[in-house]
Structure 1
Amino acid sequence: MSIDLPPYAKAVFKYGRPIVLLTALLMSIPGEIHLAEVAGWDSVTIWDWTFNVAALMPVCVSVYAACSAVIADVSKRLKLPNRRSALAGAVAALGLALAAQDVSHLIEQDYMGTSWLLVGAVSAIPPLVAFHMLHMAAAPESTASVVEVDEPEDEFEAGDDESDKPRRRRGRPGLTEEEVQAAIACLNADGREVNPANLGEVLNRAPRTARRYLERQAKVAEKSVGQPADGMLPLAI
């Protein structure tokens, strides 16, 4: 469905969100750096380069919260195995970012002072963030940044028999039988093996979607000539 937004709405949608996100992250930096300094982080010297380690705290708090929110949203949309961990991490990161800002400003305005509990809690932030990110990276292969998703689409209709017609589902427009046959002929002409991976590459479809097209073509060939079409079987699936 296409929605024709007015120009100002398009500008807000396209530019407003990243500007607000960047502004919020920038405004969070001073409080998080201050909280790290209260916990005892100081400058370190590596060779002749002096660096304020406390300046990295915003990455462990606000940037981590933003990353966790994106990971949780993608995991939920694609129903990945790590979606519960990602959601828990996003909620914890949001709570951490809120608490860091509140505590930092309360200390800055002399409403509260530091304590061993506060120092211990702030000191635990970097290792906990690192642990969660490593946990996400070590998740199953299906949670990688590129995920093979079985694409819902309308497949081509092979014949007049209603039993041969695939059930229609909403999704990407299906390919015609001629398009699939042309792609198979292209693979044969190039001397490439006709398998789901190669056919999916030519058709710009996922391998599992290409597998269905191959199985459908094989059934069509068997019904039309009584034997598999040249270049179709045996399939390397």
Structure 2
Amino acid sequence: MSTVSIDLPPYAKAVFRYGRPVVLLTALIMSIPGEIHLAEVAGWDAVNVFGNTFNVAWLMPVCVSVYAACSAVIADVAKRLRLPNRKSAMAGSVAALALALTAQDVSHLIKQDYMHSSWLLVGAVSAIPPLVAFHMLHMAAAPESTASEVEVEEPEAAFHEGATAEKSGQRRKPGRPGLTDDEVTEAIARLEAAGKDLTAENLAAALGRAPRTARRYLAHMKRAEIRAKKVAEGKSEGAAESTLSLSI
């Protein structure tokens, strides 16, 4: 499996960079009226806050559409980092999407007189804010086992583990084998020959791996370079001392 670096034309880059936030913002704005109407049908209305009248039904879009967007992002991050709470995040994301779709459908059906409010509808809509608050608090709890900092296997450790397993005759864990130092060095040389900058993205394309993996290889190569430099400096100091002692 290999990856190919594609240079997108300017219009495609503009669509990729600006199109998604514009579409997201437009969709959220179009969802606002239906969700406010559904909250008003369920009984939320204006309240007096420090002498000012405020319609709390206007907050329903935050509990529905914005919550769905947040849940989708949290679920994606949890899945990419393989966090322990990723199942809960995925379940919450699916539930939030279903909630947003149902809210829009029910609101417009009521507006067009295809259906009317009922005690079941009022009870279901009234339960939205506490359920959303519960799930957000659950996702934000982040105990030590769900911290955002997770341990990753360093390439150097993977090399030693693989060599030890081969010598002892043990079977390695299934998955893509790690690359050797020579393979990474050859990929870096190809980038330099092509006049490309040594970045994680360019190295990932040359290696056929993910950018995150390429960053780990770069870190491993940097540490090896620092160690080699320290060894060379130690040898030069030793040679200088030997020369000095001979001259004396």
Q: 1:88 aligns with which of 88, 91, 100?
A: 91
Q: 2:221 aligns with which of 175, 178, 182?
A: 175
Question: Residue 149 of structure 2 aligns with which residue?
Answer: 147
Residues 66-101 of structure 1: CA distance to partner in whole angstroms, max 9, x if unpaired?
A: 011111111111111001100000000000000000
Question: Residue 184 of structure 2 aligns with which residue?
Answer: none
Q: Which amino acid aligns with 2:179?
A: R
After superposition, residues 26-41 of structure 1 pair within 5 angstroms as 26-41=29-44
Residues 37-78 of structure 1: CA distance to partner in whole angstroms, max 9, x if unpaired?
A: 000001111112221100000000000000111111111111
d(CA) in 2 for partners of 1:123, 1:179: 61
The answer as to whether partners of 1:154 and 1:168 remain within 8 angstroms in 2 is no
| DSSP-derived class of the 2:221 partner | coil
The answer as to whether partners of 1:41 and 1:53 remain within 8 angstroms in 2 is yes
Name the count of aligned residue pairs.
Answer: 177
Unmatched 5+ residue regions in structure 2? 165-177, 181-208, 235-248
Q: 1:120 aligns with which of 123, 128, 149?
A: 123
d(CA) in 1 for partners of 2:228, 2:64: 53
d(CA) in 1 for partners of 2:55, 2:5: 49
The alpha-carbon distance between structure 1 residues 181 and 140, as it changes in their structure 2 partners (threshold 3 A), is: farther
d(CA) in 1 for partners of 2:228, 2:47: 65
| DSSP-derived class of the 1:88 partner | helix
The alpha-carbon distance between structure 1 residues 142 and 13, as it changes in their structure 2 partners (threshold 3 A), is: farther
Question: Residue 46 of structure 1 aligns with which residue?
Answer: 49
Paired-residue identity, %: 71
| DSSP-derived class of the 1:97 partner | helix
Question: Residue 233 of structure 1 aligns with which residue?
Answer: none
| DSSP-derived class of the 1:147 partner | coil
d(CA) in 2 for partners of 1:87, 1:14: 25
d(CA) in 1 for partners of 2:127, 2:54: 21
TM-score (norm 1): 0.67
Unmatched 5+ residue regions in structure 1? 186-216, 222-237
Structure with more relative contact order (C-alpha pairs < 8 Å, separation 6 or more): 2
Cα offset, 1:137, TM superposition: 1.4
Residues 129-153 of structure 1: CA distance to partner in whole angstroms, max 9, x if unpaired?
A: 0011111112433534x42342654
Cα offset, 1:110, TM superposition: 0.7
Q: CA RMSD in A?
A: 2.7
Question: Residue 108 of structure 2 aligns with which residue?
Answer: 105
d(CA) in 2 for partners of 1:103, 1:85: 26
| DSSP-derived class of the 1:175 partner | helix
Question: Which range is displaced more, 133-142 or 101-110?
Answer: 133-142
| DSSP-derived class of the 1:5 partner | coil
More helix by share: 2
| DSSP-derived class of the 2:117 partner | coil
Structure number with greater Rg is 2
| DSSP-derived class of the 2:18 partner | helix
The answer as to whether partners of 2:81 and 2:150 remain within 8 angstroms in 1 is no
